[in-house]
Chains A and B, each alone.
Chain A
Amino acid sequence: MLSSLPFDEMRTPEGALRPHYRAFADWLERTPPDRIAQKRGEAERIFHRVGITFAVYGEQAGTERLIPFDLVPRIIPADEWARLEAGLVQRVRTLNLFLHDIYHEQAILRAGIIPSERVLGNTQYRREMVGVDVPGGIYAHVAGVDVVRADGGRYYVLEDNLRVPSGVSYMLENRKMMMRLFPELFATRSIRPVQHYPDLLLENLHAAAPAGQERPTVAVLTPGAYNSAYFEHAFLAQQMGVELVEGRDLFVEDDTVYMRTTRGPQRVHVIYRRVDDDFLDPLAFRPDSMLGVPGLFAAYRAGRVTLANAIGTGVADDKSIYPYVPAMTRFYLSEEPILGNVPTLMLYRDQDRAEALANLDRLVVKEVHGAGGYGMLIGPAATVAEREAFRQRILAAPDRYIAQPTLALSTCPTFVAAGLAPRHIDLRPYILTGRGSALVPGGLTRVALREGSLVVNSSQGGGTKDTWVLAGEEGAET
C-alpha cells in the first residue's frame, strides 16, 4: 500500500539534510536573501524578453503566459539516476516492441496478455499502419515518460507520452538560466550537463532516416505560430540547425517529400513532426486539415520519408493500455520491469469498477484519452457533487476511465510568497531512440505551485525547476 506521507527530496523525515542537497543548502544559507530576490526578478525579465512563453487554450486568442520558474533545483544523486535511466530505456524499448508487434504479428494479443479489443478497438489504433515497416522498427523516437516519487521515495511511472511530447525546451532554458544566474553553483558541483540534447536528437533523427541516406535532410514540422508549443518548435529547429517547416512548405511528388526553397525543391528525409496524426495528411486522415501535406502518408508507407514519431503511437501511451506495460516488459524482454506502474483500476472490469465507486473520495479518476490535467477527478479534493457527477459519467462509459490511488507526490522546497515551502513535483525525462536508446541526464521537473496541489501541468498553474543529476560518488547516500 502506498503511504500518504509525502517524500521530501531535500530532508529526511527527521529533518536532516539529505547528502546530495548538502552543498546546495550551504550555498543557500550563505547567499543573502536580497541577492536571491534580485535574481528571481532577473530570471523573470529574461524569460519575458526572450519570449519563452506558451499559449493557453480557451483563453483570449493570442494570450501568452510565462511558465513560472523556481530557483531551487531538483537534485538526483548518481545511483538513483542510474536506476532511473535503466528503467526508462527498458520501458521505451518495451513500448517500441509493442507498437511493432500490434501493427504486425500481434503476438501479445494472441498470447492473451492484453485483451484484443483493448488494442484493436482503441481509437488510437491506426489500421492504416498495419503491415507498414518503419526504419529500425522504431515508433517512439522521442518519448517523454512522466515519473513521480511516492511511498517513501520510490519512483513510479505515471504516464508515457509517445505522440508529440513537449517541454524539453524548458529543460534546456532552465539550465541556461541557472548557469547564468548562479555560475558559482556549477563551478563547485559536479552537475551533469544536458545542453547536448539537440545534438543527440539530431543524431537519432539521422539514424532513423530511410536506408541508404548518407546525409539525410531533417526538418521540424510545426502547426504554426499560433500553436501553444510554437516557441519550442522554433527553438529545437534553430538549435539543430534544420528548417522549421509548416505543411504548406512541403509537397509530395512520386512518393518523395520536398520542401519549397528559394533554390528549388529540396528533398526531406526525416520529419520531426510536432503535428498530431490526424492532421498530417488530409488525403489519409482528417480531410479538413490545413496543417498537413497531401500525399505524406503514401510517401511514408513507401519508406521514402521517416516520421518521428511514427504514426499510430498513441495506442501505446493511452491510459487504458498503461496498466499492461509491466506485463509487456515480461513478454517481450523476459525481464522484470525496473520502474513500476502506479496501481491502476481499469473501470471496464466489474470488480475494479465496484472497488473504485466505493472509494471515489480517495482515488484519482482519469479519462483514458485525457491529457494536460484536463478531465480528471481528484477524489479527496472534490466536492460530493463533483464525485457524484463523475460516478454518473463512469457508469455511462466505464471503459473511458481508470482510477489510481491519490499519490502523495514527493515535495521539493520552492520559493513562494512566504519564503521557502514544500511543493509537489514530478519529472519528465526525454528518451531518444534511433541508434539505441539514450537520454541526457536530467529532464523537466514540474512543480505544483499552489499549496497542497498535485497538478503540475503548466496549463493548470504549474511551474518548473532545473533538474540536476549528480556525477560520480558525490552526494551518494551513505
Chain B
Amino acid sequence: MLSRTANELYWMARHIERAENTARLLDVTYRTSLMPYQVHETGLAWADPWSVPLVTLGLATAYYQRHPGLTAENALRFMIFDPANTSSIYECLRTARESARAVRGAITSEMYEDLNSAWIEMRSYDYERIQANGVSDFLDWVKMRSHLFRGVTFGTMLRDEAYHFIRLGTHMERADNTARILDTKYHILLPSIDDVGGAVDYYQWASLLQSLSGFESYRKIYSDVIAPRRIAELLILRDDMPRSLHSCMNFIHDTLGILCDDHTREVERRAGELHARLHYGRTDDIMEFGLHEYLMEFLEQISELGGEVSRAFLVPTNKASTDLASAAQRLRSMPVRATDSLR
C-alpha cells in the first residue's frame, strides 16, 4: 500500500490512543490532587500534582510559554483544549479525524462515521461545560470514545495491511504512554521520607493503578496490599495485562512479523530484541536498576523503534524524499526524555 496511506492510518491510531492516555494521565492527576497533601519545602514546583502530566509528557516548557503560573485550570485547559499542544485531547481527536478523512477509502464507513461524530461532539465541549459536569465525566467520555473506535475497527475491518498499521500505531503509542504514566509516581514527591509506605504513598499508587485500569486486576492476581514492586511487575512484565509493556510488545512484535519483508526484516528484529527483554525480564532486576531509570530506557528504545518503523514503511527516504514530510513527522512525536525542566 502507499506509504502515505499507511502513515495516516498509523498516526490516526496513535492519536486516538494518545487522547485516551492523556485522559488517563489527567485522571490520575485529578485523583491525586484531591488528596490531603502538604509539602513543607515551599517553592518546589514538583510538589504540585498538576506538574506531573506536563513533566511526564515533556510539555513543561511549552506550558510555561503559554501560562505564567501553574494552576489546575490552566493545566486542564492546556491538556484538553489547547490546539498548540499536540498531545491535547482536542488536537489528538482533530488530527485523528483529519487522517481518517484523507484515507477514507482505506477504512470502513462505520469507522469514519464513529470518529467523525466523536470529533463533532468534542467541538461542543468547553472548559466551563467540563467544570459543570465534572472533570471525571469528560475524561470517561474520552476513554469510551477510544474504546468504541477500537471496537468498530476490530469488528468491521478487513485484516489487511491497513488493519495491521492501525494495530501497530495503537500499541506503539500505548507502550509509550503506559511507561510515562507509570513514571508519574517518580515525580510526585511525598511530603517527607517518613511517608514512604504510608497512607499518602498508598493512595498515590492506587490512583495510578486505577488510571491504567489495573486496580481490579491487581486485587484479583495478588489478593494483597498494594506494593510498588508488584505494580511494576503487573504493568511491565505481565503479558496478560492489556496495557502492560510486555503485552504491547507482543502485539508490536507479532504485527511487524506480518508487515516486514526481506528489506525491512531489521525492524522486526529490533522489536524482537525489545520484546525479549520484557519476556525474559525479572522484577528484581528492574527494581535494582531503578524503576524510573528502567522506564526512561524503555521510552528511548520504543521511540527508536518508532523511528525505524517510520523510515521503513511510512516516510521512506530516498534521493528525492521531501524534507517536508520528515519535518511533519518530527512535529508529531513527543519529546522522549522526561527531563524537561520546570521553573
Contact = CB atoms under 8 A, between A and B. Distances in A.
Interface string B283-323: 00000000000000000000000000000011010111110
A295 interface: yes
Interface in B78-136: 101-102, 104-105
Contacts, number: 51
A237 B103 CA distance: 13
A249 to B, nearest CB: 5
Interface stretch (B2-10, B29-37, B237-245, B330-338): B2-10
A208 B259 CA distance: 33
Nearest to A293: B320
A225 B8 CA distance: 14
B76 to A, nearest CB: 30
A248 B325 contact: yes
B22 to A, nearest CB: 27
Interface in A243-268: 243-246, 248-249, 251-253, 259-265
B261 interface: yes
B193 interface: no
Nearest to B4: A249
B102 A260 contact: no
A429 interface: no
Contacts of B159: none
A122 interface: no
B1 interface: yes
Contacts of B3: 249, 260-262
Contacts of A225: 101-102
B6 A262 contact: yes
A234 B105 contact: yes
Contact of A260 (B2, B161, B263, B324): B2
B320 A251 contact: yes
Nearest to A237: B105
Given A245-B2, A259-B2, A260-B2, A265 B318 contact: yes
Q: Which interface residue of B1, B105, B316 has the most chain A CB atoms within 10 A?
A: B316
A260 B4 contact: yes
Interface in B18-57: none
Given A249-B2, A262-B1, A294 B320 contact: yes
Q: Which interface residue of A245, A261, A295 has the most chain B CB atoms within 10 A?
A: A261
Interface size class of B (residues with CB under 8 A): 20 to 34
Interface in B228-281: 259, 261, 263
A367 B6 CA distance: 44
Given A234-B105, A262-B259, A264-B316, A246 B321 contact: no
B266 to A, nearest CB: 13
A264 B321 CA distance: 13
Nearest to A51: B104
Q: Which interface residue of B1, B3, B319, B321 has the most chain A CB atoms within 10 A?
A: B3
A251 B161 contact: no
A2 B133 CA distance: 72
A262 B320 contact: no
A31 to B, nearest CB: 31
A238 interface: yes
Interface in A205-253: 225, 234, 237-238, 243-246, 248-249, 251-253
Q: Which interface residue of A261, A262, A294 has the most chain B CB atoms within 10 A?
A: A262
A295 B4 CA distance: 20
Nearest to A265: B318
A102 B37 CA distance: 85
A212 to B, nearest CB: 24
Contacts of B105: 234, 237-238, 244
Contacts of A248: 4, 322, 324-325
A252 B4 contact: no
A263 B104 CA distance: 21
Contacts of B314: 262
A294 B323 CA distance: 14
B261 A251 contact: no
Contacts of A237: 105
Given A225-B102, A248-B322, A251-B321, A265 B316 contact: yes
Nearest to B319: A253
A253 B263 contact: no
Contacts of A234: 104-105
Contacts of B161: 262
Given A262-B6, A264-B263, A253 B1 contact: no
Contacts of B313: 262
Contacts of B165: 262
A46 B187 CA distance: 55
A246 B161 CA distance: 20
Contacts of A263: 261, 263
Q: Which interface residue of B4, B6, B261, B314 has the most chain A CB atoms within 10 A?
A: B4
A82 B320 CA distance: 50
Interface of A: 225, 234, 237-238, 243-246, 248-249, 251-253, 259-265, 294-295
6 contacts: A249-B2, A251-B321, A260-B3, A261-B1, A261-B2, A263-B261
Given A260-B4, A260-B318, 13 more contacts: A225-B102, A234-B105, A246-B4, A248-B322, A248-B324, A251-B318, A251-B319, A251-B321, A261-B2, A262-B1, A262-B313, A264-B316, A295-B320
Interface of B: 1-4, 6, 101-102, 104-105, 161, 165, 259, 261, 263, 313-314, 316, 318-322, 324-325
